[in-house]
Structure 1
């Protein structure tokens, strides 16, 4: 099945603002609450299961116009039909 984008938001933010967003997501994960995403007239509510798959990826893209872009991506994945199983390879450490 092709990918369907349910919600997308991209904007320049300070590190402090980004940390605040990530803290809210972390708090909702801790308490089992849904994650509500909203930007303008777009919104989506997602309820991750108890054990989603957690993917962390660091990338270097380029060169485009001699510019290299670095990124870090944090992704939660789960199957809508069988949402209790997680997968993965080894223990993640973030320092």
Structure 2
């Protein structure tokens, strides 16, 4: 099935700005509220189910000395369905 990107943004931010954004998402998840993502005139609201699939991925791309590291946090669920998964910890 083809992927449809319904919102995307990418920009450099300080670690503190990124932490504040992640805290805001965490607060919305904790409260059971929709998550609204906005950049300029573009926005999308998502109703995250109680048990989505949560994926954490760390990647290294390229070859030394020109490597790029990344960490991705992804919530995934089928529209209209609830998901379940195992426990995860961030240390």
TM-score, with structure 2 as normaliser = 0.93
- Structure 2 segments unaligned to the other structure (5+ residues): none
Pairing 1:30-49 to 2, within 5 Å after superposition: 30-49=30-49
* Cα RMSD, aligned residues only: 1.4
How many residue pairs get aligned? The number is 91
Equivalent residue for 2:18? 18
CA distance in 2, matches of 1:92, 1:25: 17
Equivalent residue for 2:7? 7
> What is the CA distance between 1:42 and its match in structure 2?
1.1
> What is the CA distance between 1:76 and its match in structure 2?
0.2
> What is the CA distance between 1:63 and its match in structure 2?
2.7
Kept in 2: contact 1:53–1:76 (CA 8 A) = yes
TM-score, with structure 1 as normaliser = 0.89
Instruction: Provide Cα deviations, 1:30-67, integer angstroms capped at 9, x if missing partner.
Output: 00010000101111000100000000000000039x51
CA distance in 2, matches of 1:63, 1:6: 32
Kept in 2: contact 1:61–1:69 (CA 8 A) = yes
- Structure 1 segments unaligned to the other structure (5+ residues): none
